[in-house]
Amino acid sequence: MKRIKLVLLPYSVYASIFILAPLILVFLYSLRGPDGGYSPEHYLRFFDLKDPIYLKVLARSIWTAALSTVICLLIGYPMAFILSRMDRRYRDLAAFLFVLPMWMNFLLRTYSWMTILERNGILNTLLGSLGLGSVHILYTQWAVVLGNVYNFLPFMILPIYTVLIKIDQSLVEAAQDLGASRSKVFFRVVFPLSVPGVVSGVSMTFMPAVTTFIISRLLGGGGNALIGDLIENQFKTANNWGFGSAMSVILMLLILAAMNIMRKYEGESREGSVLM
């Protein structure tokens, strides 16, 4: 027992300096008014129902992130399923190819979408040459969703893929043996057993999507600011650390609540996932 505590010591020191202390600081900042005293005014300002601009941004952030997550799930689950069914020799390579774009710089990837989507960009040039007119996607909410999906899809695919390849093939055979057709095997055995991967994938996609500010700023323009943009703005432009901190705390609590709800679903299927 003592030895275990000794081994844990460096991690506890690390955790208190780099995790616990910043959290406490952020929380303290969020309660500090302009006069230096403690007050809940930042929170009241955020939740002001007479002028709910911040709540609207929060709602937009959640909506955009949820939409991106759902699209990631709809694309990612079948993709992970197909990957898991591939020949053992090729599937790891194929999974690797899906992660490969992640090795490129995040900003670069997002900027490249700007050149694709902008008014005279690659997409519209292509559509124009086909005589299909042009579309205005850049600086809309859809551009943000597109950026999210593109950037976070691997985080959806990988955990689901990992869980799927671990499902014992004899369970599939047992289900077939008991009369289940292919679709029934999927819905009654494979999908329920893959829920931990889905929960993992959803949280790994939803969390960065709800807090992002780069994607929304580059692809969404000024009109589609998300909560992440507001927080960044408070720290870097408005110089109101207190309000920025308060919004961070609110966002954090929101994610915590969301994770708890998902953990309930995961608890039913037991197997551990990556994040929780």
Partner 1 sequence: MADSLIRLEHISKNFGGKEVLSSIHLSVRDKEFVTLLGPSGCGKTTTLRIIGGFESPDTGEVYFDGKKINDVPPYARQVNTIFQRYALFPHLDVFDNVAFGLHIAKRPKDEIARRVREMLRLVNLSGYEDRDVASLSGGEQQRVAIARALVNHPRVLLLDEPLGALDLKLRKEMQTELKAIQVALGITFIYVTHDQEEALTMSDTVVVMNKGRIQQIGTPIGIYNEPINAFVADFIGESNIVPGVMNEDLVCSFFGKTFECTDTGFSRDEEVDIVIRPEDLKMIPPESAPITGVVETVVFKGVHYEMTVRSPSFTWLVQSTIPEVVGTSVGLEVAPFDIHVMKKGGAENEAD
179 binding partner 1? (CB under 8 A)? yes
Residue closer to partner 1 by CB (options 105, 181) is 181
Residue 251: Cβ-neighbour burial (10 angstroms; 0-12, 13-18, 19+): buried
Q: Which amino acid is at 170?
A: S
Place of tokens 């985080």: 155
d(CA 236, CA 232): 6
Judged by CB, which is closer to partner 1: 176, or 211? Answer: 176
CA dist., res. 153 & res. 173, Å (int): 30
Assess 178 for contact with partner 1 (CB under 8 A): yes
Distance in Å, CB of 262 to partner 1, minimum: 17
Question: DSSP secondary structure string, 181-203?
Answer: -HHHHIIIIIHHHHHHHHHHHHH
183 binds partner 1, rule: CB under 8 A: no
Q: Which CB atom, from 122 or from 178, has the smaller least distance to partner 1?
A: 178
Footprint (CB under 8 A) of partner 1, residues 138-167: none
Looking only at residues 9 through 68 of this chain, which bind partner 1 when binding is defined by CB under 8 A?
none
Size of the site for partner 1 (CB under 8 A): 20
Q: Tokens 């005293």, residue? A: 37
The gap from C-alpha 94 to its chain's centroid, in whole angstroms, comes to: 23
185/226 with CB nearer partner 1: 185
Q: Is 223 in the site for partner 1 (CB under 8 A)?
A: no
Does 189 bind partner 1 (CB under 8 A)? Our answer is yes
Q: How far is the CB of 276 from partner 1 (least distance, A)?
A: 18
Query: Do the Cβ atoms of 107 and 214 come closer than 8 Å?
Result: yes
Strand partners, 38: 32
Residue closer to partner 1 (CB basis): 151 or 194: 194
Pick the stretch among 27-35, 186-194, 197-205, 256-264 that binds partner 1 (CB under 8 A). Answer: 186-194
Closer residue to partner 1 (CB): 175 or 258: 175
Say whether 170 sits in a helix, a strand or coil: helix
Closest CA to 250 of 18, 82, 4, 26: 26
By the criterion CB under 8 A, which residues form the site for partner 1?
A: 168, 170-171, 173-181, 184, 188-189, 192-193, 268-270
